[in-house]
Amino acid sequence: MGYIVLFFSGGEIMVIVFFVLLFFGADAIPGLARTIGKGMREFNKATADLKSEFENHTADIKQDFNKLTDKIEKGSSDVKRKIEDELKD
């Protein structure tokens, strides 16, 4: 999935503002701004909810992985200790 990144200069922003005023009129701009703001808030909330849900579901996997790595580390240290004991004898 590709992303398009747009950078606007001051002149381009002024042209956009001019066309928004031309198409919507000065009276509609505050309502349009509120609608855009509300949409952005809802999008950010949905993004945060998805992130939280993902982290909740992966927490169990992380916990199981940590338990497994602890067992492997303990087992390898036990093997290392047995080998060292055998070499001393």
Question: What are 43-77's pLDDT values in tens digits?
Answer: 999 999 999 999 988 998 999 999 999 999 998 88
d(C-alpha 88, C-alpha 26), whole Å: 89
State the pLDDT at residue 68: 94
**Residue found by looking up tokens 């492997």 in the block:** 72
Number of domains in the chain: 1
pTM of the model: 0.49
- Using alpha carbons, select from 17, 40, 44, 39 the residue that is nearest to residue 29: 17
Rounded-to-integer distance, Cα 27 and Cα 25, Å: 6
As a whole number, the mean pLDDT across the chain is 86
For residue 26, what are the domain limits? Answer: 10-88
The answer as to whether 25 is a domain residue is yes
Does 2 map to a domain?
no
Residue 50's pLDDT is what?
Answer: 94
- In-domain check, residue 83: yes
What's 26's DSSP letter? T
The reply to whether 20 falls in a domain is yes
- Decide if pLDDT at 8 tops 90: no
